[in-house]
Amino acid sequence: MALFSRKKRSVPITGGPLPAHIAIIMDGNGRWAKRRGLPRSAGHSAGAATFKTIARYCNRIGIKYMTVYAFSTENWKRSQEEVNGLIDLLRGYLLDSKTFQKENIRLKLIGDFEPLDPDLVALIAKAEEDLKDATGLQVNIAFNYGGRDELVHAARRLVRDGVPPEEITEDAISDRLYTAGIPDPDLVIRPGGEYRLSNYLIWQTAYAEFWFTDVLWPDFSERDIDAAIEAYRARDRRFGGAK
Ligand code: FPP
């Protein structure tokens, strides 16, 4: 039985601990826009607004890390207009970062910044620096991120660092990922009705719990996060150990 209904907005007081780290695949923006006869970019704008709402909510209820998939290494295949729109949304968010300083929300971008404009890379560094002393939620935005690409970069770094084969451990690899220093996600949420990982945090999600919903990302609300957390807290995590 559900610990509380989808209508309520508070985190239940029973069950296991809250997830420290929630990773989200923000899927369904295009379909949300199409159903309204709007361009895909309108779906992404609505999705960006949802992202802010959910980040604020996670901060309020005491989640420590939230990692969102904003642009994958495969998303360059989309139209130039859509790609530019997504880059502009990131730019707007970074320019607005002072707002998040007030809310005590930290920021980190993860991904390969090599193909990004130098001014955007500078903006990322500035926003991260401005928010570095925040002690609330850390928001990680995956931008030009791909899980396989991340592992390729980590392997190159191992070679560059001259690490001998016998010293290549799981920690040595984790320390060279874009997410170095960030604990692995406890819970992965994918709205939008698809049931796949899409090259997202493939190393880090080895023991994550998964929660899927048909709700499209722009319609995703605090109630949905509550439902995902409720399901997570009712699960028995054994990390490969016996019951
Ligand atoms: C997938 O939905 C979504 C994306 C590729 C982009 C997600 C980006 C945002 C929500 C903007 C975030 C902005 C910031 C600043 C973090 P889709 O377009 O593939 O949807 P569809 O499957 O319905 O076509």
DSSP per-residue letters across 132-153: TT--SPEEEEEEEE-HHHHHHH
Sequence-distant (≥ 6) Cβ neighbours of residue 183 within 8 angstroms: 20, 21, 64, 65
Q: Residue 6 pLDDT > 50, yes or no?
A: no
Which among 59, 75, 88, 171 is annotated as catalytic? 75
3-state secondary structure of 37: coil
Q: Which pair of structure tokens corresponds to residue 215?
A: 């709700």
Mean predicted confidence (pLDDT) in 211-223: 98
Q: What is the pLDDT of residues 65-99, one digit of tens each?
A: 999 999 999 999 999 999 999 999 999 999 998 88
User: Which candidate, 239, 232, 237, places its Cα nearest to that of 15?
Assistant: 232
pLDDT reported for residue 1: 36
Q: Which of 77-81, 140-144, 203-207, 235-239 has the lowest mean pLDDT?
A: 235-239
What's the start-to-end Cα distance of the chain, in Å?
A: 22
Which atom of ligand 1 lies closest to the CA of 93? 15
Q: Whose CA is nearest to atom 1 of ligand 1?
A: 27
Neighbours of 232 (CB within 10 A): 23
pLDDT reported for residue 3: 44
Is any atom of ligand 1 closer than 6 Å to the C-beta of 27? yes
Which among 27, 186, 224, 226 is annotated as catalytic? 27
Instruction: Mark whether 75 is an active-site residue.
Output: yes
Q: Which pair of structure tokens corresponds to residue 72?
A: 């994958």
Q: What is the pLDDT of residues 150-201, one digit of tens each?
A: 999 999 999 999 999 999 999 999 999 999 999 999 999 999 999 999 999 9
Is any atom of ligand 1 closer than 6 Å to the C-beta of 51? yes
Q: How remote is the CA of residue 44 from the centroid of ligand 1, in Å?
A: 5
- Give all domains of the chain, ordered by start, each with its CATH number: 21-233 (3.40.1180.10)
188's enclosing H/E stretch is strand 187-190
Q: What is the pLDDT of residues 101-153, one digit of tens each?
A: 899 999 999 999 999 999 999 999 999 999 999 999 999 999 999 999 999 99
pLDDT reported for residue 234: 94
CA pair distance 130, 127, nearest whole angstrom: 5
pTM above 0.85, yes or no: yes
Q: What is the pLDDT of residues 43-71, one digit of tens each?
A: 999 999 999 999 999 999 999 999 999 99
DSSP 8-class letter at 10:
S
Q: Whose CA is nearest to atom 8 of ligand 1?
A: 70
Which atom of ligand 1 lies closest to the CA of 47? 10
Query: Which single residue is written with the structure tokens 């930290």?
Result: 106
pLDDT reported for residue 10: 54
CA pair distance 85, 46, nearest whole angstrom: 12
Q: How remote is the CA of residue 21 from the centroid of ligand 1, in Å?
A: 20
Is any atom of ligand 1 closer than 6 Å to the C-beta of 198? no
